[in-house]
Amino acid sequence: MRGSVAAMIGSVPSPPAAPPVHPLAPPRALYLHVPFCPQVCPYCDFHKMRRAQGLVAAYVARIADEAAATAARWPGPLDTVYLGGGTPSHLTDAELDAVLGAIARGWGGLGAVETTLEADPLTFDRARAERWRAQGITRLSIGVQSTQDDVLRFLGRSHRGGDGLQAIADARAAGLEVSADVITAVPGQDAERDLRAVAASGSAGGAGGANHVSVYTLTIEPHTPFARRGVAVDDDRAADDYDLAEAVLAEHGFERYEVSNHARPGHRSRHNPVYWRGEACLALGPGAAGLLPPGPSDPVGTVAARTMNPPIKAWLRGDPPERTPLTGREFALEKLMTGLRTVEGVDLHELRSSTGVEVAAAFPEALATALRHGLLEREGPRLRATRAGVRVLNGVLRGFFGEGG
């Protein structure tokens, strides 16, 4: 079987019998989770909550302690910082100043390459965006979701159709990069109208529109209000909207560079590829997930460790993150899972050097099947999903997990 796989994927230089594993480089990326939201949307399964008396103050104080302790262990410097949630822009100016100040004290500044803040359209105007720009934020990820009032109401959002587009205009006028989130396959939605409105944002002049759009299919997560109400997403409609998004955005100069992400040239996210390439990332805040190099207490054979901060109550108490050591094989599966979502795919030489795993030898059946069916393709050291493969990527990955889990 290995012979036939090698024949299908072309000439791959033979690896040494036991390839040395190069340890994960120390983190230069930071994710910080802000769990507070102005509303609780019925489709959301993130770690989030409404503000409560004293809770935000306790959160801000704990973030300062956690940042100081983390920076003492992992001093950076930081290339990228991502403040996600929740709704980070729901913090007041004073609270956000304190959070940004904690990062700056720990690492000597924010991200040298990119610092992104997730923002709800109703939480800022141009003046506030200018304040953020002056503080070192470089990019907003704005939760536009839809430009249609009835769709936004259905999604439980507080803003209305024009608010998202106004938010994009305000952010661009303040000199910030903008990524807009859009949700598709919502019952009753005219997805094309939403996609065209966001893609064309800024075309009427002014400082320009969103140069990055993240398009997510509505998914009904278990235990959410939508799941309890029996809301259903039509699979055919979801597939049609996925193709529609790529076509509409391409018309406006965007390229899909990851399953859900589209950017104009020069405007790709700099932080998210850290996850897709399996690079180390620090995590602050309740429920935040990170990836670190192996430590002295990890079992022999660990090549990286996932960390997951506890939910807010335990996190405020100072409980440590849950740490999951990854073997080379487990880390290789993670890298395939995230890397195959990108147009660049996975560099198999890099994967071998960071995990010790030779994909053709470790997953011969899954690889051969996906190549034979035209779902994956090989070019030089890169393995990537074809157009057909992107549409059934979860099934392709199940094959690898079935063989390697």
Q: Ramachandran region of residue 212, left (φ > 0), alpha (ψ -120 to 50) or beta?
A: beta
Nearer CB in complex with ligand SF4: 278/287? 287
Rounded Cα distance between 165 and 160, Å, is 10
- Nearest distance from residue 14's CB to ligand SF4, in Å? 48
Q: What pairs with residue 220 in β-bridges? A: none
Chain residue whose CB lies nearest ligand SF4: 44
- Nearest distance from residue 363's CB to ligand SF4, in Å? 35
Residue reference for tokens 């994960």: 24
Where on the chain is the footprint of ligand SF4 (CB under 6 A)?
37, 40-41, 44, 46, 48, 85-87
- Nearest distance from residue 159's CB to ligand SF4, in Å? 10
- Nearest distance from residue 202's CB to ligand SF4, in Å? 24
Closest by alpha carbon to 373, among 391, 347, 349, 358? 391
Nearer CB in complex with ligand SF4: 207/289? 289
Nearer CB in complex with ligand SF4: 47/252? 47
Angle at 11 between CA 9 and CA 15, to 5 degrees: 100
- Nearest distance from residue 46's CB to ligand SF4, in Å? 5
Closest by alpha carbon to 83, among 111, 45, 54, 52? 111
Nearer CB in complex with ligand SF4: 157/262? 157
Nearer CB in complex with ligand SF4: 101/156? 156
Q: How far apart are the first and last CA of the chain?
A: 19
- Nearest distance from residue 83's CB to ligand SF4, in Å? 13
Nearer CB in complex with ligand SF4: 87/309? 87
- Nearest distance from residue 278's CB to ligand SF4, in Å? 25
- Nearest distance from residue 97's CB to ligand SF4, in Å? 22
- Nearest distance from residue 317's CB to ligand SF4, in Å? 23
Nearer CB in complex with ligand SF4: 85/111? 85
Q: What is the dihedral of CA 225, 230, 233, 235, to 10 degrees?
A: 140
Nearer CB in complex with ligand SF4: 48/139? 48
- Nearest distance from residue 86's CB to ligand SF4, in Å? 5
- Nearest distance from residue 155's CB to ligand SF4, in Å? 8
Nearer CB in complex with ligand SF4: 285/325? 285
Rounded Cα distance between 381 and 21, Å, is 17
Angle at 377 between CA 372 and CA 378, to 5 degrees: 115
Nearer CB in complex with ligand SF4: 187/402? 187
Nearer CB in complex with ligand SF4: 87/355? 87
